[in-house]
Structure 1
């Protein structure tokens, strides 16, 4: 699962990495939480012969609301979608077909259960320090009054062997060479995406134990990613961290 992540790269780095039109500068974000705005890259039509980028940036609410929802308060907070079933679920089916996105990140946080009532957080980052792109889905929800809000979720898959001792799920990582295929809902159907929904190879990420300051959304500084010493090796969690971070 992915319940918190970070994006600390500069706008120009993100722009180049995702092949976006020019991005405005934005501050580093060390503790991005559900319901907050997150950056997504989406495919955009390009006139023939144009040199404009084929992708644009969208700022969306992290918490997916399907277009058919009458009242979001009656639904759980959908920050993640299981990649194995998203194409069949009524909630995500249309977005999986037409509105696949990329979510730039510097890494994510995950918690390992270590006994009753205790969870050790880890900062999970690319071992080489590069940006990554999580597989995302986007949906525009229309309020009864007529206003619209763009919303999104991050797709998850089974954890690889490196991260399985911490948690059984992890975000789906889309390699740069497959950005275009993932975003192209015209040429490629969800069934063509199966190979991209597998766990990233072992060794790609490293998990750094960090303090529980990350548990509070009020804490947003770089100190959240500082390594701490841990002396308890407990079993990984087989349940959810809390009800807010439930998977659909």
Structure 2
């Protein structure tokens, strides 16, 4: 990946930060997108640049603002001279019981999980085609096996999974498009899942343990670095949970 450039959305914290560190360790330059976590993004940029000068930068954008998405791509290319890969990681996640769904939560969940990846990929496509690059979308195992209480989130991720396959068709043969679907890797912020729920989720994985962010980051790295004959696919990184549901 030496000399290549990767744009990672939602890269200041959690899975996005792990993906950025993994791709940087592979030799890539990384552009970290963030929405609000400016301190975390700037700290990660400083950490990466201390290892390799001028190899990381960050940009702020609200992905719900579709008109700002081409700027993310343009500023990345202006900073590093090229764009070889896009990782659509940024996501909203919260319950939406039927009866309480309104347009505000629709716009948030569909906007962050489906609309933004589409329009960001569209903006990036010419640069990715020139580089014969790739896109990795971070979906969810619940895109195919819905989670009770989260119908809108599951629908948004299901849309992203379908979009992954559709874009693989549309952007072939120059750009590969794949997805990584995490299982129990990082618990959501805010204590959404109590201890009993977490224990039940882990009990339904074949490996009987939660994963770690590096498991997702390594899968992304494989798809970007080593999987030159793979497109239109999804890798479930879930400890075997989907085989046991």
TM-score by length of 2: 0.29
Pick 1 or 2: higher relative contact order, CA cutoff 8 A, min separation 6: 1
TM-score by length of 1: 0.29
More strand by share: 1
More helix by share: 2
